[in-house]
Structure 1
Amino acid sequence: MSEFTNDVLKLRVDGVDLDVAATVRRGGALSPVVFLHGFGSTKEDYTDFLHQPAFAGHPFLAYDAPGCGETMCADLSKISIPFLADTARTVLEHVRIERFHVVGHSMGGLTALMLAHQEPDRVLSFVDIEGNLAPEDCFLSRQITTHPAEEDEDFFDGLCARARRSTEFSSALYAASVRHKVRREAVRGIFESMVDLSDHGDLLTKFLALPFPRMFMYGEQNAHLSYLPELAAHGVELAQIPRSGHWPMYANPVAMWQRIADFQHHNHT
């Protein structure tokens, strides 16, 4: 298997200086696979890709989004979903990836959707792991309005406490680590833009119009999502992960990786 490196990419996005922490595997004859993590997660959610025999031959990229993990951002107030999409485009340019398969979870799925909508010719396939497509998807981000707080720290404490009490698979595990993975000052901009795009961005129409193979992955606890039949009717492959909720990479990673591998095999380039 090709070697991989942990790099710091010094970039400037929309006038903001970034030190982006990235894991990159450059070798491989097949097309690269790019992973965009969700809110409260980091690139490490996906680096097991490097040890999965099913993905041998694929270059790989995962990085910590601005405001998350080990990535440093000079102005956290500028972070939003459009800013994250611009960051993705800049990272891809920096590491010289032209065309790619993309896997995005939650916030990362929405970021990938915005990027793919703007540059569809660059994307070979898209695995969307519960990325926002409709207002109903804002179960975390809408708390910025349903549970308002004057101080960022107070809002974040409440968010973590509610996640810890949730009955969703792996939510307590998520809550235990999220405060160590996200800068408090980045939360409001991310959540407000997620809600605005989910309510007014016509995301489902954008997703259905994408001209390449798409998979929508969701935990069995979220099999009630209202738009699943419409996705299937428009040729989107549905992947329900058993014994899982919003975080299949924590609750059932074996099933998650298998479904991604099967999808990649069917779209082998």
Structure 2
Amino acid sequence: MLPQEQKLEIIYKGEKQILTYFFRPGELGTVLWLHAYCCGKEDFEPAFSNHLLDGYTLAGFDFPGSSNSPYPENKSFDFDDLVEMTKIFIENLKLKNVIVIGHSTGSLVASLLAERYPDLAKAVVSVEGNMDLGDCWLTKKIAGNSYEKFIQEILPEYLKSLEGGPIEVYGAHLRRANPRSCYDYAGSVLKYSEKGLETFLGLKVPKLFIYCKENSSLSYLPILKKEINVVEIQDSNHWPIYDNPDAFFKALSEFLKSNIY
């Protein structure tokens, strides 16, 4: 069960921004969850009841426009802004020994944070994170069209396609997200996915890549397996934290114990 949601008010580029977040203190290092494209901190809920993470400080926050963090009406944000806000979040909460977990596009933010601010990230875990443009079919379609076409055609059609499927949970996130934020972030997904693999492998910290059995044909898996620790999660499809939480948290806790603590 998640702890009560809290709000962090920051001043970013001269204006107030609210970041909604969850936080559970612990005596060990911090496991910080960065959610996927237009999703939310709620995806980290299984962590708060899993005994394998007992003792760790757990935190996760909503990027602007996702879940309960508002999105400004008078400006646009991109992934560079999300990196800076993650830095501000870590510093404001005085988080120590931070292991950053990025799910899907959240992995791009995690990698950029560790690359630009190496003192803030002790390790990076990518959960089916974007590694090349082949991971970007949806955001490529969004970025290549007008905002009007996105909200009138692309988004409704995509939401309908998710109904009854293995990632139906994603539809609930997208319905809740601010559509303007989804549109604005799409360009950054393309920009940083193009060299996602290079950036991730170049990080000077311990790294773990987690992928799901149903996506075992990812083209870059052979490269990752030669370079770093890679774990396959059985019976899952892009959302291992929901599909197979026992295997997911076992992989995560073993990585933490062998590489960090």
User: TM-score normalised to the size of structure 1?
Assistant: 0.88
Displacement after TM superposition at 1:181 (Å): 2.8
Alpha-carbon deviation of 1:5?
Answer: 4.8
Please say if residues 39 and 174 of structure 2, whose CA atoms lie closer than 8 Å, have aligned partners that are also in contact.
no
SS at structure 2 position matched to 1:73: coil
Cα distance, 1:99–1:107 mapped onto 2, change above 3 Å? same
The alignment covers a number of residue pairs equal to: 259
| Deviations, residues 112-156 of structure 1 (Å, cap 9, x unaligned) | 111111112322211101111111111332221567663442232
Say if 1:136 and 1:76 are closer, same or farther in 2 by CA, change over 3 A: farther
Structure 2 Cα separation of the partners of residues 70 and 255 of structure 1: 29
Q: 1:158 corresponds to which residue? A: 157
In structure 1, the residue matched to 2:102 is 104
Looking at structure 2, the residues matched to 232 and 264 of structure 1 have their Cα atoms a distance apart, in angstroms, of: 18
Q: Is the 8 A contact 2:71 2:178 kept in 1?
A: no
Closer, same or farther in 2 for the Cα pair 1:147/1:219, shift >3 Å? farther
Shift of 1:102: 0.9
Structure 1 residue 217: deviation in Å? Answer: 0.9
1:83-134 per-position Cα deviation (integer Å, ceiling 9, x unaligned): 1111111111111124311111012111111111111232221110111111
* Separation in structure 1 between the aligned mates of residue 74 and residue 208 of structure 2, nearest angstrom: 32
Contact 1:12 1:18 in 2 (8 A): yes
- Aligned residue in 2 for 1:13: 12
User: Which residue identity is paired with 1:214?
Assistant: K
Q: What SS does the corresponding residue of 2:123 show, helix, strand or coil?
A: strand
Q: Deviations over 1:168-224 (max 9, x none)?
A: xx223322x12333111111111111012223xx22222111122111111112111
Q: 1:224 aligns with which of 200, 203, 217?
A: 217
SS at match of 1:131: coil
User: 8 Å contact 1:85–1:111 — kept in the other structure?
Assistant: yes
Per-residue Cα deviation, 1:224-262 (whole angstroms, up to 9, x for no partner): 11111111212x111111121222223222221221122
* Residue of structure 2 equivalent to 1:128: 126
**Counterpart residue type for residue 230 of structure 1:** I
Alpha-carbon distance between aligned partners in 1 of 2:74 and 2:256, rounded to the nearest angstrom: 35
* Amino acid corresponding to residue 238 of structure 2 in structure 1: H
Which of 82, 85, 95 in structure 1 is aligned with 2:83?
Answer: 85
Q: How does 1:250-261 map to 2 (within 5 A)?
A: 250-261=242-253
CA contact (8 A) 1:160 1:178 kept: no
Aligned match of 2:32: 34
State the one-letter code of the partner of 2:176. K
The yes-or-no answer on 1:174 pairing with 2:170 is yes
Distance 1:159 1:190 in 2: 17
Q: Which residue of 1 aligns with 2:237?
A: 245
CA-based RMSD of the aligned residues comes to 2.2
Aligned to 1:113: 111
Counterpart amino acid of residue 225 in structure 1: L
Q: Is the 8 A contact 2:63 2:82 kept in 1?
A: yes
Q: Is the 8 A contact 1:77 1:185 kept in 2?
A: no
- Aligned mates of 1:123, 1:214 — CA distance in 2: 11
| Alpha-carbon distance in structure 1 between the residues aligned to 2:51 and 2:18 | 31
String of CA shifts for 1:42-83, please: whole Å, max 9, x gaps: 111113222222112211111111110111232474221111
Report which stretch shifted further, 184-193 or 256-265: 256-265
Q: Say if 1:141 and 1:198 are closer, same or farther in 2 by CA, change over 3 A.
A: same
TM-score (norm 2): 0.90
Counterpart of 1:256, as a letter, is F
